[in-house]
Amino acid sequence: MTVLTVPSPWKIRDRTLTWGSRTYLMGVLNVTPDSFSDGGQFDTVERAVAQARHLVHHGTDILDIGGQSTRPGAGSISRTEEIDRVIPVIEAIRADHDDTLAQAIISVDTTRSSVARAAVKAGADVINDISAGTYDRAMLSTVADLGVPIVLMHVRGTPATMQQCTDYQDLVGEIYEFLQHQIEDAIAVGIKPSKIAIDPGLGFAKTPAQNLELLRQLSRFRDLGRPLLVGPSRKSFIGWILDQPDPQQRVWGTAAACCAAIAGGADILRVHDGAEMHDVCRVADAVWRGKGE
C-alpha cells in the first residue's frame, strides 16, 4: 500500500497553511473587463478592494488577483496593461486601514515573469501560473529568485486556442506527466519543493466530460506529493450539465463540484462565491476530514 506524504505547510505572513487539516479557499479577484464570469465588475481599484474586503471577511484564505483574462477564446494584453491593472490593487490592499484585508495572503494569477516580479515587490505572496511556467521561460527561475510559492497548472495551447486542444489518449496520465515534468523543472532552477502546488486545470483544454473524469480521478494527483488546487467555480462544464448559460447562476453547481474536489483530496479551491463555498467547505470537511466532530 502506498503511503502518501503530506506536503509541507506554507508559512505566509502570520499564517500557516497546513495541508490536509482543512480545505483552503482562494478567492477570485479579476481586475479585468472581459473575464468569463465577472468581467468588468471589479475593474477599478475601489471596486476590487471592496470585493477583496468582502472575500476575506467571509472565509477566503487567499486573494487571487488577475489582470489578464484566461477564459476560452481570450486574447492577450500587453505586459504594461497587465501591470497597470494588478499592481495598484495590490498596493491598495496592503495600504488599507482594515488589518484583516491589509494582511491577507495575495496570489497573482499571471504567466509573465515581469508581472510576477512587480507583484511580489508590491506585496504579493504567491504566483499562480496557468501555464506552469511554459508561456514565459523566465517564470520558474524568477519565482526561484523571489522565493515565493507557485501554483503550476496544466493547460494546452493558449486561452485563444485551448478548446481545440482536447484530444488526449490518456487524460489523467498525460496531465500527471505534464505536472510532474514542470515540478522537476521548477526544482531544477531552484524553487524549493515545499513551495510548489499543482492544479490539473479544470476547464482549460478539457471537454465537459473530461472535466468530470478529472474530478472522479482527482486523488491520483496526490501521488505527486504537492498541495492540490482545483478551480471548478462557475465553469462552462457546470453550465453544460445544468443547461445554464449564465455563469453567475452556477453557484449550486459549483458547490457540488467543490464537494467532489474535497472528496478527491483537494487542498485549495479557487472560487468566486467565497461566503457560499466557505459553508460548503465546512460541511464537506466535517464529512471527509472529520473536522466537525
Spatial separation of the C-alpha atoms in residues 255 and 249, rounded to whole Å: 12
pLDDT single digits (tens) 151-192: 999 999 888 888 899 999 999 999 999 999 999 999 999 999
Please tell me the predicted confidence (pLDDT) of residue 158: 86
What's residue 70's pLDDT? 67
Among 127, 126, 122, which Cα is nearest to 102's?
A: 122
Q: Of 203, 54, 27, 244, nearest to 128 (Cα)?
A: 27
Would residue 91 count as lying in a domain? yes
pLDDT of 64 reads: 97
Residue 76 lies in a domain: yes
Number of domains, the chain = 1
Residue 8 inside a domain? The answer is no
Return mean pLDDT, the chain: 93
| Residue 15 maps to a domain | no
pLDDT for 174 equals 98
Range of lowest pLDDT (31-40, 129-138, 229-238, 262-271)? 31-40
Other CB atoms within a 10 A radius of the CB of residue 121 amount to 11
Which residues, 6+ apart, have CB-to-CB distance to 60 below 8 Å?
Answer: 25, 26, 27, 104, 274, 278
Exactly one of 156, 206, 250, 270 is catalytic; name it: 270
Number of Cβ within a 10 Å radius of residue 164 = 11
Q: 95 is in which domain, residue-wise?
A: 22-288
Residue 269 has pLDDT above 80, yes or no: yes
The residue among 47, 23, 49, 2 whose CA lies nearest residue 232 is 23
Find the CATH number of the domain harbouring 129. Answer: 3.20.20.20
User: What pLDDT sits at residue 168?
Assistant: 97
Does residue 156 belong to any structural domain of this protein? Answer: yes
Residue 253, pLDDT above cutoff 90: yes
Joined together, the cell numbers standing for residue 196 give 510548489
Report, in angstroms and rounded to the nearest whole number, the Rg of the chain calculated over CA atoms: 17
Task: Give a three-class secondary structure readout of 40-63.
Answer: CCCCCHHHHHHHHHHHHCCCCCEE
The pLDDT value given to residue 65 = 96
Rounded Cα–Cα distance for residues 184 and 235 (Å): 30
**CA 3, CA 251: separation in Å to the nearest integer?**
35
> Which segment of 9-13, 156-160, 213-217 scores lowest on mean pLDDT?
156-160
Helices 171-188 and 208-216: crossing angle, nearest 10°? 70
112: annotated active-site residue: no
Asked whether the CA dihedral 256, 260, 263, 269 is positive or negative, the reply is negative
Active site residue 270: yes
Cα–Cα distance for residue pair 110/17, rounded to 1 Å? 22
Amino acid 39: pLDDT: 47
- 26 belongs to a structural domain: yes
Domain-embedded: residue 10: no
Identify which of 147, 76, 148, 88 has the alpha carbon closest to the alpha carbon of residue 112: 76
- The active-site residue, picked from 85, 112, 206, 235, is 235
Mean pLDDT confidence for 250-266: 98
280, part of any domain: yes
- What is the tens place of the pLDDT at every residue in 29-77? 988 775 444 445 677 899 999 999 999 999 999 999 999 876 666 678 8
- Whole-number pLDDT of residue 76: 80
State the DSSP string of the chain. -PPPPPPPPEEETTEEE-BTTB-EEEEEEE--S--TTTTTTS-SHHHHHHHHHHHHTTT--EEEEESS--STT-----HHHHHHHHHHHHHHHHT-S-HHHHT-EEEEE-S-HHHHHHHHHHT--EEEETTTT-SSTTHHHHHHHHT--EEEE---S-TTTGGG----SSHHHHHHHHHHHHHHHHHHTT--GGGEEEE--TTSS--HHHHHHHHHTGGGGGGG-S-BEE--TT-HHHHHHHT---GGG-HHHHHHHHHHHHHTT-SEEEES-HHHHHHHHHHHHHHHT----
